[in-house]
Structure 1
Amino acid sequence: MDEEQLARIAGLPKTELHLHFEGAAPPAFIRGLAAEKQVDLSRIFNEDGSYAYRDFTHFLSVYEAATGVLKTPEDFARLCRAVLEESAANGVVYSETFLSPDFCGGGDVSAWRDYLHAIREAAEAAERDLGVTLRGIVTCIRHFGPDKARAAALCAAETADDWLVGFGMAGDENRGRQRDFAYSFDMAREAGLQLTSHAGEWRGPSEVREAVEDLRVTRIGHGVRAIEDPATVEMLAERGVTLEVCPGSNVVLGVYPALADHPIDRLRRAGVKVTVSTDDPPFFHTTMRREYTGLAQRFGWDEEVFAEINNTAMDAAFCDAATRAAVKKRLEPS
């Protein structure tokens, strides 16, 4: 694939369904906020200013340390602007982001409303200024346990509307079982929210199956290790479950040694609905432009394939029909 075609692919309008809000915080933004608050976070940065961590468990602790300087609704509004500026610079026209009430008010519904209001106002301003449409998905944190998850689900249920559109679970996949969180997912479903859960990143295909069967999700965060079991791949394809795939993240964290080993292309060819996202982009030294060009170079994906990927993402998006239709128009070739 020549440089001209790669440049066209990098410049395509894009959709992103798997973006952790705090995890998308540019390091410079967190360093600046820490300086304002006189908090020493030097231990979480490399000499070049990037986030420093050793492995997935350490990544979670660095993530939570960085998040620790985000204290007020105004802090989160400023973060929203910074995140969406990065999205716009990478051609993203629609994004869904994971928001945790645990980090926004400690799981208290009243406090959560204040944080959510500030984030939403900033998102609406950014949509006018930058052309990026954002929607929110409340996530419980798996390693915080089922009780905390119920508080997060209550926050989600109490604020579900046309902007806060989904509920999911993130965190350490090696803690507990998907079914431990069924109560929270049932609560969110009854409130009209659509559902996703991280699965099949660190644990194998059985974890993916459990998320689909026990939590009744329509999307899976990552889900890539389903490739290890043909029956699970067939189940995903037959049920139309969409995978929120984050290739760069999987490689950096060592789920796969290199992009050439990543199963996204095999999953797609097997009929599984796959999408492309960055996960926690500054932590994993990636952007949506970089994800697209990497996939084009490694698997020969051209503009037609990326159009399919974006269409799949919008069909799986948790937004309302009017928003979906408007975004799809923006994705059409000019």
Structure 2
Amino acid sequence: MSVSDLPKIELHMHLEGAAPPAFIRGLAAEKKTDLSGIFDEKGAYKYKDFWDFLKVYEAATSVLKTPQDYYRLTRAVLEESAASNVIYTESFLAPDFCGGGDVGAWRDYVAAIGQAADEMEREAGIVMRAIPTCVRHFGPDQAKKTALCAAETVGGFVTGFGMGGDEAMGTQGDFTYAFDMAREAGLRLTSHAGEWGGPDSVRDAIRDLKVERIGHGVRAIEDLALVDEIAEAGIVLEVCPGSNVVLGVYPAWSDHPISELRKRGVKVTISTDDPPFFHTTMRREFDRLSETFGWEAEDFMELNKVALAAAFCDDATREVVAKKLEQTNA
């Protein structure tokens, strides 16, 4: 069995960012919206750098206007994930894009997304859980609305709360109120840090937001004392190597610190982030890691175990996924 054929657990994927370009083009045509400027001649997403990527991302998301659009999006994304043999996935959802932060509207979107997830679990065996996220460059006040949306829908499907967006805007500590609200509602916490922000952004997320997982977190490697702290505390890094390389955080796969972080005892997981934007899939991530670092099936099985233990799901769901892993590994 090739490592790319192994079952996979993914903890860091943005639902809108995983939208296949053909799906967005089709939806734009239905809505008579011209989005031709965000695609290249081959029909793939086109952007210059991370900040241009954010603009293209939000432009693509602009045609997702109704719960039904998100129902269709969820099915399309989960079909792609299932094709990579992903058996469990956690997806970031932005209430800002799903009803503008209005709790009533957000409930409708969550219901539609959850319905699609339930259908895909029955049809393809993939389990999905949702992590509402605030968008950092939308500011702390908007983040409070996002946290309220998350808190009002916490349950079997909505299990976590996080933050994405432009790390250059404000500090992690600016969002303490929103994260405190989410924590009090029983949501598990993660935040993007250590992608464009340096090691201090990772330290701030852990100290100020009290997260148990970090989205990316790879630039912690620039401060080995911090790496030791992360390892000792058991903080889990949601690492997205292909994303980091394509966006230029690291110039090549061989320069990526994931192997060194793992050797130093840090719990790492593998994800795609926004797969079509970065021309990747979970199969491709596994293959490239194997080619670059010589990782074998046993390494990826261990990574799956780390991811499953760190997943923001209940014990019953964890047990179901664990049995799927055991059946494949037997």
Rounded Cα–Cα distance in structure 1 between residues aligned with 2:171 and 2:304: 31
Alignment match of 1:292 (pick from 286, 291, 297): 286
Name 1:82's counterpart in structure 2: 76
Alignment match of 1:234 (pick from 220, 223, 228): 228
| 1:227-268 residue CA offsets vs partner (Å, 9 max, x unmatched) | 000111001000000000000000000000000000000000
1:289 shift after superposition: 0.3
Name 1:316's counterpart in structure 2: 310
Rounded Cα–Cα distance in structure 1 between residues aligned with 2:88 and 2:205: 25
Rounded Cα–Cα distance in structure 1 between residues aligned with 2:27 and 2:33: 9
Matches within 5 A, 1:37-76: 37-76=31-70
Rounded Cα–Cα distance in structure 1 between residues aligned with 2:9 and 2:278: 19
Q: How many residues align?
A: 328
Name 2:18's counterpart in structure 1: 24
| 1:279-324 residue CA offsets vs partner (Å, 9 max, x unmatched) | 0000000000000000000001101100110000000000000101
Rounded Cα–Cα distance in structure 2 between residues aligned with 1:241 and 1:22: 26
Name 1:262's counterpart in structure 2: 256
Alignment match of 1:174 (pick from 139, 143, 168): 168
Runs of 4+ in structure 1 deviating by more than 4 angstroms, as ranges, are none
Rounded Cα–Cα distance in structure 1 between residues aligned with 2:196 and 2:57: 18
Rounded Cα–Cα distance in structure 1 between residues aligned with 2:84 and 2:217: 25
1:101 shift after superposition: 0.4
Matched, 1:191 2:185: yes
| 1:162-215 residue CA offsets vs partner (Å, 9 max, x unmatched) | 110000000001110000000000000000000000000011111101000110
Name 1:110's counterpart in structure 2: 104
Rounded Cα–Cα distance in structure 1 between residues aligned with 2:11 and 2:140: 24
Give the TM-score normalised by the residue count of structure 2: 0.99
Structure 2 letter corresponding to 1:246: C
Structure 2 letter corresponding to 1:214: D
Matched, 1:142 2:175: no
Name 1:159's counterpart in structure 2: 153
| 1:39-73 residue CA offsets vs partner (Å, 9 max, x unmatched) | 00000000000000000000000000000000000
| 1:48-103 residue CA offsets vs partner (Å, 9 max, x unmatched) | 00000000000000000000000000000000000000000000000000001000
Identity of aligned pairs, percent? Answer: 67
1:121 shift after superposition: 0.4
Structure 2: stretches of 5+ with no match in the other structure:
none
1:328 shift after superposition: 1.0
Name 1:202's counterpart in structure 2: 196
Rounded Cα–Cα distance in structure 2 between residues aligned with 1:162 and 1:228: 38
Structure 1: stretches of 5+ with no match in the other structure:
1-6
